[in-house]
Structure 1
Amino acid sequence: MPHSSSELAASPVAIAGATFADLTLGDVDQPYRIFLYRPARPAPPEGWPVLYLTDGNACFATAVDAQKVQMSYPSGTNICDGVIVAIGYPSDEAYDPVRRSWDLSPPPGRTYPPFFPDTPDVRTGGGADFLSAIEDELKSWVEKQVPIDRSRQSLFGHSFGGLFVLHALFTRPRAFRRWIAASPAIFWEDAAILVTERAFLERADVPPGLELHLSAGQYESERCIAPFHKGRPDEGQRLARALETRTVEYARAMAERWEALPALAGVGRFEEYAGENHMSVLPVAVNRAVQIAFRQEM
């Protein structure tokens, strides 16, 4: 006879093939939580393709599920097996807003009032150090855990994470092959990332095979807020904020700039996700990152 729910002891849910470790990277005193998914079968001779994710607490499970489901039917999805590495923080929350504000934002950065009363000021500008920690320490740790194909490494980030992806691409373009920036905060701190982009384009330092995928949700445009926000008391504030952030417009314009350059034609693209706002777009964008990172190569 079935037991009632009140008679069953609650047990934590585990993700098959997934582990995590708390690692201290760089000069940061507090550890990062590194989530790692590895396929159960032996690696191919060249090693596994790998997808790195920022905001790991919020993204890891979604990415693993998307990869597993699609990889189970490779002829229908064109997705192969691979490794997922998600960089997060020792917390049960989806985000650590103070730490991610520092880690994911490009230098030089600024100081802002606290998010909450009686908490530290919010500092930005730690993106270069964070990237160095990934390149100089985290990647070598990952390669000790599982064989990696260094020619098939991808990096995903959303919002501040998308801004970090762009900073990393423009300053160390050989660190990854495929770069996926979802809803990137290009507007941040007077759109300073565009200066970094311009310097990158002037150097013309684009490795062969590089790909840039930019995306944003329909309701991140300066022209279109979500229907459920219309008529609310804060509608005017939301419209003003959309005019400031211009997430769709900034990302689309970047893709168009790249496409207009003969050396970069076909390298960058922009995708707009219908019916999505800045937060609801995350699982859609993570799924697309999986499809890009683990696309089968002929």
Structure 2
Amino acid sequence: MQLEHLDYLSPLGRHYRLTLAVPLGSAPESGWPLACVLDQTQFQAVLAAVPGAAPLCGAVLGVDYVQENWRDQDYTPGPEGEAGRADDFRVLLRDVFLPWAHGRAQLDPQRRLLCGHSLAGLFALHALVHEPGLFQAMAVSSPSVWWGDAYLARLLAQPLPPAALTVPVSITVGEYEQRLGPAEEALPEPAREQRRQRLLERRMVDGARELAQELAQHQGGEPRFRMIPGCNHSQSGWVALPQGCLEWLADVWPR
């Protein structure tokens, strides 16, 4: 694969680093499908999952930061515009990051996947509702269902824009995101109980399943929900997003 890089300083003074991985060889006539992966850790996991003997079957754009990390604002909508900057970040994706990628490689604007884990998964669902035409599919790993007093549940309870009804969204969550994993079971009692209560309060597994069910009711069909065995919150994205990304690329290429 060939790698292209861009460092970009936004009008808000936030320094981003983009990495575009493009397959070697000729693109399909319509262009390569593009998977946009938020956060460097998840982007590297996607590239590492490509088998050594197999070519990458689409382009992958990684979006990350230089030095200071702004994901707690970039990926969250602010209450009445006060805190989060999700809409500003969405505009950056639409007007700067994606056009840069399309300018560096032959890409298909009608075959784009957005991949996000945790707060980035929250952002993906926010973008689904507020600009559904930006991506044609989404892989959402462990979305932050607890954030903003169950913001995502309220968001998806509303009628969706017509364009969002045809965007397939897979939602995954780790097995140990609502109960203790083996390592946590070995913690001293006070820490173990504190961790147990935090997991129960956040309802990551139940909440993710409910989001998938809500989307299925809007879109029709069965919920696209999967539990990632043996994973806690930090681990689940490393497994789920490479799987979801590579499965999508294999499915859409070539056409």
Change (3 A) 1:30 1:255: closer
Q: Which runs of structure 2 are paired with 1:223-234 in the superposition (5 Å)?
A: 224-233=179-188, 234=191
Structure 2 match to 1:159 = 118
CA shift for structure 1 position 231: 4.3
User: 1:235, 1:42 → 2: CA distance?
Assistant: 54
Change (3 A) 1:169 1:252: same
Structure 2 match to 1:12 = none
1:83-105, CA deviations, whole angstroms, 9 ceiling, x for partnerless residues? Answer: 110110124xxxx54x1111111
Structure 1 match to 2:72 = 101
TM-score (norm 1): 0.78
Structure number with greater CO (CA < 8 Å, separation at least 6) is 2
CA shift for structure 1 position 30: 2.7
Q: Which protein shows a greater Rg?
A: 1
**The residue matched to 1:60 in structure 2 has which SS?**
helix
Structure 2 match to 1:264 = 220
Given that residues 66 and 290 in structure 1 are in contact (C-alpha distance below 8 angstroms), is that contact kept between their aligned partners in structure 2?
Answer: no
1:214-266, CA deviations, whole angstroms, 9 ceiling, x for partnerless residues? Answer: 01100002xx21022114231111111111211111110111223345x4224
More helix by share: 2
Change (3 A) 1:131 1:110: closer
User: 1:208, 1:102 → 2: CA distance?
Assistant: 27
**The residue matched to 1:295 in structure 2 has which SS?**
helix
* Long gaps (5+) in structure 2: none
CA shift for structure 1 position 197: 1.7
- Consecutive aligned runs of 4 or more in structure 1 exceeding 6 Å deviation: none
Correspondence 1:58 to 2:41: yes
1:105-138, CA deviations, whole angstroms, 9 ceiling, x for partnerless residues? Answer: 1222899xxxxxxxxxxxx411111011101221
Given that residues 180 and 212 in structure 1 are in contact (C-alpha distance below 8 angstroms), is that contact kept between their aligned partners in structure 2?
Answer: yes
TM-score (norm 2): 0.90
Percent identity over the alignment?
26
Given that residues 171 and 208 in structure 2 are in contact (C-alpha distance below 8 angstroms), is that contact kept between their aligned partners in structure 1?
Answer: yes
Question: 1:48 aligned to 32, 36, 40, which one?
Answer: 32
Q: How many residues align?
A: 251
**The residue matched to 2:133 in structure 1 has which SS?**
coil
**Which letter maps to 2:116?**
G
**The residue matched to 1:18 in structure 2 has which SS?**
strand
* Long gaps (5+) in structure 1: 1-15, 73-79, 112-123
Question: 1:249 aligned to 188, 206, 216, which one?
Answer: 206
CA shift for structure 1 position 141: 1.1
Q: Which runs of structure 2 are paired with 1:166-205 in the superposition (5 Å)?
A: 166-199=125-158, 202-205=159-162
**The residue matched to 2:225 in structure 1 has which SS?**
strand
Change (3 A) 1:137 1:204: closer
**Which letter maps to 1:23?**
Y
Question: 1:38 aligned to 22, 27, 39, which one?
Answer: 22
User: 1:44, 1:206 → 2: CA distance?
Assistant: 26
Cα RMSD after superposing both structures: 2.2
